[in-house]
Structure 1
Amino acid sequence: MSTLKVGLIGAGGISRVHADAWRALGATGYVTSLAGAEEIADDYGFELVADVDTLIGLVDIVDIVTPSSTHADFALRAIAAGRDVICEKPLAATSDAAAQVAEAAAAAGVRLFPAHVVRYMGEYQNIKTGIDAGRIGTLAVQRFSRAGAAPQTPWFFSESTGGGLIRDLMIHDIDQAIWFAGAVTSVFAVQNPPTVDDRVPAPVTSHIVLTHANGVISHIHGSWVAPGMPFRTSVEVAGSEGRLRYDSAEDHTLRTDAVADSAGTDYLPPMSPQESPYYAEIADFVAALRDGRDARVTPADGIRAVAVAEAAYASIAAGAPVALDSALAEEATR
């Protein structure tokens, strides 16, 4: 494959770990954003571009790292121009919009990659391997937890425009729960304090219970906490013959657990490209393009994660479990 030309739409905190990966892969980079693009261009040697459509016309791959409410629009514009697309999670704000993006990519014959980075974290990969190898017998219960300092950028706190604790933070573990245990048929969720007038409070905590088609129960906890609190993740899966677990707080060499800078807007832990799961996911997509194979995360995976997050919000509103569409659940098992 000749040198890739990659266009980064967006210049927030997540853009830097993507830019790190593209630079490490030797890609020629372009960047555009309403704010911050000049700094990305200077720091990473990318070419500054005035607007989105000009950028799309210059590149082979479009990498979308913008607020969630804009993901579908930018993806559809890139797909219409025949560009392959990497899109940060969530793929779209709704499952219908996510499906529209995936269908457009398929019709255009281009590749679409939803960037669910936790699938590329070694500890979670090891648990997936252990489950598939039968190391714990028949899987029964899964518990996930993810908590860190609340983001500082205002859009994260508007559920109607693609933000929210579940859609932004907990969607990581929603995706893991589906990856480990398959199709989800029922979703029950609570949040405290509640969202009022479309504003998510902080600190805030939510808990989701998923019932999978195979009978597995998943408990997913997420919290946005006070500035400066350490970012922490944990997972435990239990089966008929044992359990597998990981807690980032128990291994302080891991780059996935770091104290946030309370004065900054970026709550991502620092990491080098070679250590970064962000590098691993982008390298996988590039290899999938080169080899003509699926990447570890598919468009269908992106749709399913959004659908479960959407059902969680519906459950909170109803104060009751929500059944997931049977066709979606069936598709998740294929």
Structure 2
Amino acid sequence: MRFAAIGLDHRHIFHMVGRLIEAGATCVGFDPATSDERVLAGFRERFPALAPCDREALLDDPTIDLIACAAIPRDRAAIAIRSMEAGKDVMLDKPGVTDFGQLAAVEAAVARTGRIFSICFSERFVVPATIVAGKLIADGAIGRVIQTVGLGPHRLNRAIRPGWFFDTATYGGILTDIASHQIDQFLHFTGSTEAQIVTSAVGHFGADDWPGFEDFGEILLRGDRAGGYIRCDWFTADGLPTWGDGRLTLLGTEGTIELRKYVDIAGRPGTDHVFLVDRSGTRHIDASREPLTYFRDLVADVGARSETAMRQSHVFTVCRLALEAQAQAVRLATRPERSAA
């Protein structure tokens, strides 16, 4: 499978390209256009053998099967549609779309072209712990999953963020963006194919220089099989040795699984900690060596025209729920009300 990278605006393009190469695909080039020269520099450092190429030349190359894209979020849907119309499958960074019009246009393009529209939900696909958790659930370790609690804290790193990062119209809002990870995991681990947003909220509690920037968000949702709570934020403190203490708790009828994906604070070193509680006791599982499957499955899907990496309907459901949560969200007060004197 041959692919190219278009949209070097977010650092997620590093693992998107790197993991595809590890899965056996060949990267034939990249479009060097970027809104952040630091991302381009980092890309060149990681992939010195790859050659820059004009975007249209990449899209017009009939030997290229797939486009990997981490462009400015607002621009991703248009790049995906152009790529699909050129006969290519696409793998986007999240969020794949930032409004309902884009979602409708992408769905129409998939129906029209028959191409694959995939989103690399890295908090599941690049985390070995989620694969181990999926195997435990499939084996019946905790019975039927009836609720998920997904936490997605992030470090802001304001000094390295481009201007578009703080513009809600450009990145789509915190629930459209970050919470799409947790919505994806809720649907996947509960086996739900549909869900409703019960309530959602966003807020800005940080520095006053970007008052419109959403640095906190939460969602309560209920599917056809289970319920879920999601919280995401930009308040990871500098003292944490990684970008965020991402956690997922899976409540089953016969036990629980907790994933501490990136760090076990003040505990075991490394990443991908899985904690299992069942009728026999408690257990810690080091999942860090579990092989990732999404990228190799996507490479296979491109050739076989299958949906083993992720169902197309699942992708669209995640996008729709994230957009609905964002559209329905109440705005939380940024400062506590003062009582009357």
| Shorter-normalised TM range | 0.7 to 0.9
**1:267-311 deviations in Å (ceiling 9; x for gaps):** xxxxxxx9798x743322112223342132233222211211112
Counterpart residue type for residue 55 of structure 1:
L
Unaligned 5+ runs, structure 2: 274-287, 333-341
**Cα offset, 1:225, TM superposition:** 1.6
Give the 3 Å change call, closer, same or farther, for CA 194–298 of structure 1 in structure 2. Answer: farther
3-state SS of paired residue (2:202)? strand
**Cα offset, 1:194, TM superposition:** 6.8
**1:76-107 deviations in Å (ceiling 9; x for gaps):** 11111111211122221124422421331232
Give the 3 Å change call, closer, same or farther, for CA 96–133 of structure 1 in structure 2. Answer: farther
Instruction: Say whether the 8 Å CA contact 1:99–1:303 is kept in structure 2.
Output: no
Instruction: Say whether the 8 Å CA contact 1:62–1:86 is kept in structure 2.
Output: yes
3-state SS of paired residue (1:87)? strand
- Whole-Å separation in 1 of the counterparts to 2:205 and 2:324: 16
Instruction: Say whether the 8 Å CA contact 1:98–1:306 is kept in structure 2.
Output: yes
1:254 matches 2:265: no
- Whole-Å separation in 1 of the counterparts to 2:182 and 2:227: 13
Q: Identify which of 199, 211, 233 aligns with 2:246.
A: 233
The more displaced of 280-289 and 77-86 is: 280-289
**Cα offset, 1:69, TM superposition:** 0.5
Which residue matches 1:63?
Answer: 68
3-state SS of paired residue (2:307)? coil
The more displaced of 56-65 and 88-97 is: 88-97
Which residue matches 1:176?
Answer: 185
Counterpart residue type for residue 90 of structure 2:
V
Unaligned 5+ runs, structure 1: 257-273, 320-334
Larger radius of gyration: 2
- Whole-Å separation in 1 of the counterparts to 2:184 and 2:31: 29
Q: Identify which of 215, 224, 230 aligns with 1:213.
A: 224
Which residue matches 1:98?
Answer: 103
Two-structure CA RMSD over aligned residues (Å):
3.0
- Whole-Å separation in 2 of the counterparts to 1:211 and 1:5: 38
When normalised by structure 2's length, the TM-score is 0.76
**Cα offset, 1:158, TM superposition:** 2.0
Q: Identify which of 221, 224, 228 aligns with 2:234.
A: 224
Give the 3 Å change call, closer, same or farther, for CA 143–200 of structure 1 in structure 2. Answer: same
**1:186-207 deviations in Å (ceiling 9; x for gaps):** 3311223379998215xx3222
**Cα offset, 1:42, TM superposition:** 6.2
Which residue matches 2:140?
Answer: 134
3-state SS of paired residue (1:232)? coil
3-state SS of paired residue (1:134)? coil
Give the 3 Å change call, closer, same or farther, for CA 275–33 of structure 1 in structure 2. Answer: farther
Q: Identify which of 46, 51, 57 aligns with 2:50.
A: 46
Q: How many matched pairs?
A: 295
**Cα offset, 1:62, TM superposition:** 1.1
**Cα offset, 1:34, TM superposition:** 2.5
